[in-house]
Amino acid sequence: MSHKYFTINERNKLEVLLKGNYKISKIVKILNRHRTTIYREIKRISGEYSSENAQENTNTKSANKGRNSKITVELKTRFYVAIKMKNRSKSSMPEAIRQLAANILEEAFRTFTSDRGKEFSCWEEVEKLGIEFYFANPYCSWQRGCNENSNGLLREFYPKKTDISKTDTEDLIRTLMLINSRPRKCLNYATLFEKFLHEISKKNW
């Protein structure tokens, strides 16, 4: 039996089985997983098990390894932006967020929601930029679900533990263009770029 991380398909099955009140002994046979592996997976999420939240939790941990970059997603349109950073210290973060605001459109960058990493202890400096700063609650990755899901997209182009700060800038820009040019079902199959431009065109700054 495997002790590796669950795949998203396995997590979906596990959620269905748990909601169907299947015994762990039965789930072990269906998923062909060790009992302790299943218990560890269930404990990954506090409260009722959710395959979506468990996957986001894994994406977050993997995405933060070996990466000096800041990634953000515009909530309404899912527009995806990433910039390179020298490091992820609290002194570097305000400038990174300032650059993100410039890349998206400063007038459209009004709020920012982060996890509780030490690098975000600079929140007061960020609010001086006119950006309202919010922290997600501990162990509630679903509160930043859009961002966590999008982190996995970048790993389609860069292997795990890749230091984004050392990648070619033009290559990173091309990658972001490819991601933002993908049609999304949640946007009625419009691309992220199309949806973002549409929302911006409705504003009168």
For residue range 97-134, list pLDDT tens digits in order: 888 777 777 677 778 877 767 778 888 888 888 888 88
How many beta carbons lie within 10 A of that of residue 25, not counting itself?
A: 8
Distance from C-alpha of 71 to C-alpha of 143, rounded to nearest angstrom: 16
Overall average pLDDT of the 83-104 stretch = 79
Identify the pLDDT of residue 29.
92
Least confident of 26-30, 86-90, 97-101: 86-90
The full 3-state SS of 147-172, as one line of letters, equals: HHHHHHHHCCCCCCCCCHHHCCHHHH
Higher pLDDT, 86 or 36: 36
Query: Going along the chain, which residue ranges are E strands?
Result: 69-73, 80-84, 111-114, 132-135, 183-184, 190-191
Identify the pLDDT of residue 58.
62
Confidence of residue 200 (pLDDT cuts 50, 70, 90): confident
CA nearest neighbour of 54 among 22, 23, 21, 10: 10
Burial 147-185 (b: 16+ CB within 10 A, else e): bbbbbbbbeeebeeebebeebeeeebeebbeebbeeeee
Give bridge partners of residue 149 from the DSSP assignment. none
Least confident of 10-14, 129-133, 143-147, 175-179: 143-147
Whether 44 has a pLDDT exceeding 50, the answer reads yes
Identify the pLDDT of residue 90.
75
Mean pLDDT of the chain: 78
Identify the pLDDT of residue 75.
66
Least confident of 28-32, 54-58, 94-98: 54-58
Element (H, E) at 109: none
Confidence of residue 63 (pLDDT cuts 50, 70, 90): very low
Identify the pLDDT of residue 28.
92
Whether 55 has a pLDDT exceeding 60, the answer reads yes
Identify the pLDDT of residue 164.
79
